[in-house]
A and B are shown apart, each in its own frame.
Chain A
Amino acid sequence: MSTSAENIETMGDEETAESYYTHVEGVGAIPRDIYKHVKSDPLGDLPRYSIHIVIQHFLTFVAFLILAATGLSLHFSDLWWARQITFLFGGTDNARLVHKMAAAVMVAASIYHLLTIIGGTLHKVMKKQFDIKKTQIPRLKDLHDLVHDIKYFFGREQFRPKMEKFMYKQKLHYLAILWGTFVLISAGITLLFPEMMATIWPNPAFFQDLARLMHADEAIMAITVIVFWHWSNVHVVPGRFPLQWTFLTGKITREHQIEEHFLEYLNNLKEIPEEREYMKKILKEKGFESKGGDL
C-alpha cells in the first residue's frame, strides 16, 4: 500500500483528529487505513441498529413503497403508467384507500420511532451515558468532516475524517426524513380531513392550497432522494454492492465501520473484548504493532 506510515509525520505526544495512528489501550496503535487489511462478514460484524430500528425501517420501507406507488399514480394521473399501477391496487378508489392505510402504517412507525428514540435517550440520560456525539444531532464537526471528505475524494487528503456512528450523510438524511415526515403527515391530514382541519387552520383556503403543494412536492422530493441517493448508497456504491445487509441484520461490516465510523469503532473496541483480540491479531499479522509503538 502506498499509504505507508513513513510518509505520515503527524505522530506526536498528543493525538489529533488527523493522526495516522490511534492508540487504544490494550490493543495498540491502529493505523487509519486498517480497514484495507481487516476481514469482514458481508452480513455484518459489529452491532449498529437495535431490533426496534430494524422493525421501524421495515415498516417505513414497505409503507413508503406503497405510498409512493399509489400517490405518484394519483398525482400524475394523466400519464400512461398511472392507470396500470392503480389497476394493480384494484382501481382508483381502492388505490386511494390503500394509500390511506399505508399512511396509517407510516404514522404508526413514526410514533414507534419517536418513542424508542425519546425513551432510549431518557434512559441514557438517567444512567449518565448520554453522549451527544453518538446522536443524530448535527455538530460543527459534521461540516468539517464533509469538507475533509470531499478533499479526500479529490485526492487532496490521504485519509477520510474520523467520524462518529452517524456521519454527515446520515445526519442530513435523517433530519430530512424528520422534516419530510412532519410535513407529509400534517399536509396529509389536511387533505384527508379537510372539514376538521379547516376549523383549525387560520386561513382554510390558503392552508389547503399549501397542503396540496407541500404534500406533492415533499413526496416527490422524498421519492427522488430515496431512489437516486439512498438506494445508490446502499446498493450501488463500491463496498455496498449489491446490497448492504444492515437493514435486516442490524449489523455493520468491520471495514465499513472503520472506514466511515472510526470513532464508533473505537467504542466497539472498548465494549467488545473479542473485537479487541481480533484487532490485536490483525495489527500483529500486518506488522503495524512495532510502528505505532505500545503505550
Chain B
Amino acid sequence: MKLSKIFIKPSLYFLMLLMVLSFGFRAEAADKENCLMCHKYRQLGRIDEQGRKKNYNVNENIYANTVHRNVPCRDCHTYITRLPHDPVTEEVSCANECHIKPPFAKENFSHRKIINIYNKSVHAIKENDSPDLKLAKPYCKYCHLNPIYTRVSEKRISYEKTLARCFNCHEKKGVTQAYKHVTHRLAHKTSRSPQEIVQLCSKNCHEDVEKMKKFNVSKESVEAVETYNESIHGKAVALGSQQTADCISCHATSAIHDIYKKDNQKATINPANRAKICRQCHRKVNERFIQIDVHSSINNKKPILFFMNLGLRGALYSTIFGLMFLALIETIGRKRDGIKWQIKGGTTWRGKSKREPKN
C-alpha cells in the first residue's frame, strides 16, 4: 500500500510532464494555398545554371514567428501563378499590396508609403547615378537585414499591467500583438537600439572612407563615422547608452527613411530645421545652440584649437616627466643622506649618510 502510494503519484506527474513535452507547441503560419506541402521538405533545392546550390526549404516554425507570419506566400511572391510553378527570376517587391487589412483601415497593407518617402531621400537610386553608386545605395533589405524578419525586442515597455485591462473585452492573442506592435515603436524612435543603428549605418558603408570618397560626398560626410565616435553621443552609445542620439535620431524624422543632404530644405539637419531635431533631447534649444558642431574634430582648419591641443599634450608630458624626475632625484638624494622607507621606532633617518662631508 505504502510503496504504491510513494511511486504512483510521482510517476503520474512524470508521465504528465512527458506528455506536455512531447506535444510541443506548433506555430501556425498563414499558408492557405498549402505551399508548405512541398516547401516543408528540408532537401528541397537544386543546383542552378551558375552551379550555385539553392535551398527552397521554408521552416514553418520559424516563419510563424516572423513579422510576416500572417501574410500568405503569394502576396509577396506575386509572380507565381500556377502549380507547379516556373523557376523564379523576379525579386519580391516590398511595395506590393498584401491581403492584410491593418486595424481601422479599409485599404490593404503595403510598404508603399515608406518606400515613397525613401525614394525621395538621398539614399534613393536615381537615374543618373553611376553603376557603382547604384550598387552601393541601400534598398529595403540592405538595412532590414534581419534574416528571418523576426520581431525586435518588445521588453522596453512593460505591457502586462496595461494589457490586463484590455483583456476585459478583447481576446488575449490579437490584442497582445497589436499592443506590442504599437508600444515597442513608442519606446524609441526606431525599433532598433542606438547601437544597432550606428552599426547599420557604419558597417561596410559609411565607415568605409575609400568607398565614400568615390561617391562625391562632402568631407564632413566622409569623416562622419569617425567624428560621431569621437563625440559625446558616439562615446555614450558605444558604451551602451540607450538615451543618447544615434544616426537616425538627428538625420531623419519619425518617418526614419527621409534622410537628405544638409543643404536640402527638407533635411532635418538643415540649419532651418535643426532646432526642431535637437529639441527632441535638448529641450532648451536656442538659435545659438544650433551653431555648435555635432560632428566636430580638431584639425588644422581650427588653428587655435589645433595648436592648443598640441600645447596641452606637450604640457602633459613635460609636467609628468618633470615631476617624476623631481620625485626620483629627491628620493635618491634623501636615500643617500640616510633615510629609510618606513618610519620605525619613531624615526625614518636610521641609515648612515653616504654623502661626502663638505670641506
Q: Within residues 36 to 87 of chain B, which ones have a CB less than 8 A from any CB in chain A?
A: none
**In this assembly, does B235 line the interface, its C-beta being within 8 Å of a C-beta of chain A?**
yes
Q: Which residues of B contact A169 (CB under 8 A)?
A: 326
Is B236 touching A213 in the complex (CB atoms < 8 A)? no
CA distance A37 to B241 in the complex (A): 60
Given A40-B346, A199-B288; A86-B239 close (CB under 8 Å): yes
Is B349 touching A255 in the complex (CB atoms < 8 A)? yes
Q: Which residues of A contact B27 (CB under 8 A)?
A: none
Candidates B302, B324, B357; contact of A229 at CB < 8 Å: B324
CA distance A228 to B284 in the complex (A): 41
Is A4 touching B285 in the complex (CB atoms < 8 A)? no
**In this assembly, does B309 line the interface, its C-beta being within 8 Å of a C-beta of chain A?**
yes
Is A153 touching B333 in the complex (CB atoms < 8 A)? yes
Given A199-B288, A217-B313; A83-B353 close (CB under 8 Å): no
Shortest 4 CB-CB contacts between residues of A and residues of B: A153-B333, A39-B346, A195-B284, A36-B349
**In this assembly, does A212 line the interface, its C-beta being within 8 Å of a C-beta of chain B?**
yes
**In this assembly, does B186 line the interface, its C-beta being within 8 Å of a C-beta of chain A?**
no
A5 CB to nearest B CB, Å: 11
Given A194-B282, A233-B327, A255-B348; A42-B343 close (CB under 8 Å): yes
Q: Which residues of B contact A198 (CB under 8 A)?
A: 286, 288-289, 291-292
Mark A222-236 against chain B: 1 for CB-CB distance below 8 A, else 0.
Answer: 001100110011000
Is B241 touching A191 in the complex (CB atoms < 8 A)? no
CA distance A78 to B229 in the complex (A): 9
Q: Which residues of B contact A41 (CB under 8 A)?
A: 346
Q: Which residues of B contact A204 (CB under 8 A)?
A: 288-289, 291-292
A285 CB to nearest B CB, Å: 13
Is A155 touching B292 in the complex (CB atoms < 8 A)? no
Sample (25) of A-B pairs whose CB atoms are under 8 Å apart: A2-B356, A3-B353, A7-B358, A38-B347, A77-B235, A78-B229, A83-B239, A92-B240, A96-B236, A96-B241, A149-B330, A154-B333, A194-B289, A195-B282, A204-B292, A206-B305, A208-B293, A213-B298, A217-B309, A221-B316, A229-B320, A229-B327, A237-B334, A239-B339, A239-B348
**In this assembly, does B319 line the interface, its C-beta being within 8 Å of a C-beta of chain A?**
yes
Q: Which residues of B contact A93 (CB under 8 A)?
A: 236, 241-244
**B residues within 8 Å of A by Cβ?**
229, 232, 234-236, 238-244, 282-286, 288-289, 291-293, 296, 298, 302, 304-305, 308-309, 312-313, 315-316, 319-320, 323-324, 326-327, 329-336, 338-343, 345-349, 353, 355-359
A1 to chain B: closest residue by CB: B353
**In this assembly, does A246 line the interface, its C-beta being within 8 Å of a C-beta of chain B?**
no
**In this assembly, does A35 line the interface, its C-beta being within 8 Å of a C-beta of chain B?**
yes
CA distance A270 to B341 in the complex (A): 31
Is B330 touching A3 in the complex (CB atoms < 8 A)? no
A85 to chain B: closest residue by CB: B239
CA distance A169 to B288 in the complex (A): 43
A125 CB to nearest B CB, Å: 33
Q: Which residues of B contact A157 (CB under 8 A)?
A: 358
Q: Which residues of B contact A232 (CB under 8 A)?
A: 324, 327
Is A3 touching B357 in the complex (CB atoms < 8 A)? yes
A60 CB to nearest B CB, Å: 19
CA distance A7 to B331 in the complex (A): 25
Candidates A75, A209, A218, A228; contact of B302 at CB < 8 Å: A209
B115 CB to nearest A CB, Å: 35
Is B357 touching A4 in the complex (CB atoms < 8 A)? yes
Q: Within residues 145 to 170 of chain A, which ones have a CB less than 8 A from any CB in chain B?
A: 149-150, 152-155, 157-158, 169
B338 to chain A: closest residue by CB: A36
B324 to chain A: closest residue by CB: A228
Q: Within residues 215 to 266 of chain A, which ones have a CB less than 8 A from any CB in chain B?
A: 217-218, 220-221, 224-225, 228-229, 232-233, 237-239, 241-242, 253, 255
Q: Which residues of A contact B312 (CB under 8 A)?
A: 213-214, 217-218, 221
B199 CB to nearest A CB, Å: 14
**In this assembly, does A26 line the interface, its C-beta being within 8 Å of a C-beta of chain B?**
no
A160 CB to nearest B CB, Å: 9
Is B289 touching A255 in the complex (CB atoms < 8 A)? no
Is A213 touching B357 in the complex (CB atoms < 8 A)? no
Residue picked from B244, B293, B335, most chain A C-beta under 10 Å: B293
CA distance A221 to B232 in the complex (A): 20
Q: Which residues of B contact A210 (CB under 8 A)?
A: 305, 308
A183 CB to nearest B CB, Å: 10
Is B335 touching A213 in the complex (CB atoms < 8 A)? no
Candidates A95, A154, A205; contact of B293 at CB < 8 Å: A205
Is B240 touching A238 in the complex (CB atoms < 8 A)? no
Q: Which residues of A contact B229 (CB under 8 A)?
A: 78
CA distance A198 to B320 in the complex (A): 34
CA distance A225 to B356 in the complex (A): 34
A153 to chain B: closest residue by CB: B333
A150 to chain B: closest residue by CB: B329
**In this assembly, does A53 line the interface, its C-beta being within 8 Å of a C-beta of chain B?**
no
CA distance A99 to B289 in the complex (A): 23
B355 to chain A: closest residue by CB: A155
**In this assembly, does A82 line the interface, its C-beta being within 8 Å of a C-beta of chain B?**
yes
Q: Which residues of B contact A195 (CB under 8 A)?
A: 282-286, 289
Is A155 touching B327 in the complex (CB atoms < 8 A)? no
A80 CB to nearest B CB, Å: 12
B48 CB to nearest A CB, Å: 43
B320 CB to nearest A CB, Å: 5
A176 CB to nearest B CB, Å: 8
Q: Which residues of B contact A225 (CB under 8 A)?
A: 319-320, 323
CA distance A211 to B282 in the complex (A): 18
**In this assembly, does A47 line the interface, its C-beta being within 8 Å of a C-beta of chain B?**
no
**In this assembly, does A73 line the interface, its C-beta being within 8 Å of a C-beta of chain B?**
yes
CA distance A65 to B24 in the complex (A): 54
Is A242 touching B342 in the complex (CB atoms < 8 A)? yes
B314 CB to nearest A CB, Å: 11
A13 CB to nearest B CB, Å: 22
